[in-house]
Chains A and B, each alone.
Chain A
Amino acid sequence: MDKRIRQAFDQIQAGEALKEQTSAYLEQVRARGRSSAVRPWLAAAVACLVLMIAGIGGYQVYFTPTSVLSIEINPSVELGINRFDKVVTVQGYNEDGQALADSLDLRFLDYQQALEQLIASQSIANRLEQGEILSITVVGEDASQSSRLLAGARACTAGQENIQCGHGDVQILEEAHHAGLSMGKYQAFLALQALDPTVTPEAVYGLSMGEIQDWIARLEEKADSTAQTGQAGQTTHGNGQGHRHGWETHE
């Protein structure tokens, strides 16, 4: 049997495209690290570029968001990012979010600087310290910009365990706004609704991401135990809570 298992796993390999993509992604992260050293020069170049664009009537191009970064913990904030990766709109999606948006001056910052400021802001930092989950969702029609923003968001939140980053769908963003929720919270709502179709957007409006996730975990547990009745030994491990183990804890 061990030979059959070895042979079967031998067939599963990482394709060259996957390796190259990952390599390119790491290079992007490294380049971001290097670029911080030449930022004054870059800032001047960007300023010139902005003037040039403004000069040739590109005002709209600069001020039109091409992607959205939805930041959700309980303050819900969405940053509109233009094609130059600058923040051009800041929108709070609940009271806390609006207060946070008003307290920071994020417009025209690079999206990574804006993210760093948001994460360092007291209302978010306090919640992260309390173990709340922060989700960052990138939505945009330009796939290469979305990948770039997601990579950048991951890079600047790499040391934080309670932060999840992912892609979102443009259509779902529209639905989210229609429901009066930010993208991150709406995605959580959809995950919840898949488990309990009676849940409405209003029910999650005032909840934090951690509270919604707990709700989902409870429903999943319930569904699992129903599905596994009679299947002894089919339960999985303790839901990831105990997986940071010894030997080497820096991960």
Chain B
Amino acid sequence: MRGEEETDLAIRRYGDMVRRLCMIHLKHEADTQDIFQTVFLKYLLYQGEFESEEHEKAWMIRVTLNACKDLLRSFFRSRTVPLEELTNYAHQLTDDNREVLNAVLALPQKYRDVIYLHYYEGYTAPEIGRILGRKVNTVYTDLTRARERLRAMLGGDGDG
């Protein structure tokens, strides 16, 4: 069992990321709280060693996404997920922020993960493939399609 200092550091270091991953899958405050507890409980109880910070971060992403999927399969999730719930996440969102996030949330689930991991976390397609357990070619295809859809919704500015 990990100590308080270690888990607090992990919450500080990965809390925002876990929350963003929850947002693109769950959209409900109560569910997010559940996932937060589940993810960091797993971290507390995890007995393996992390080779590096990058390894630890990839583990966190995987555990969070799995926990989200498990929750979506369980009876305890909130079964309605209106996009308007986005407003609960940040009152300070500008119109542009909201437009972008709504566009991301309108994507199929598998595209949301790759878009977030690539654009925000800066992972390359091979790295995303490793984290999500998907073939690299599939990740490339997903990224391209997700980008096309986002451009169609948001209007592209040609940055590749």
A residues engaging B (CB < 8 A)? 1-9, 11-14, 18-19, 21-23, 25-27, 29-30, 33, 135, 137, 151, 154-155, 158-159, 164-167, 184, 187-188, 191, 194, 213, 233-237, 239-240, 242-248, 250-251
Contact = CB atoms under 8 A, between A and B. Distances in A.
Interface residues of chain B: helix, strand, loop or mixed (majority): helix
B100 interface: yes
A103 to B, nearest CB: 27
Given A12-B89, A243-B66, A246-B133, A164 B74 contact: yes
Contacts, number: 166
A236 B24 CA distance: 13
A1 B32 contact: no
Nearest to A13: B16
B65 interface: yes
A79 to B, nearest CB: 18
B44 interface: yes
29 contacts: A1-B151, A5-B120, A6-B119, A8-B97, A8-B100, A11-B92, A12-B16, A12-B89, A14-B15, A14-B19, A14-B36, A19-B12, A22-B36, A22-B37, A23-B4, A23-B11, A26-B41, A27-B4, A30-B1, A154-B37, A166-B75, A184-B75, A243-B65, A245-B132, A247-B58, A247-B130, A250-B46, A250-B48, A251-B59
Contacts of A251: 42, 59, 62-63, 66
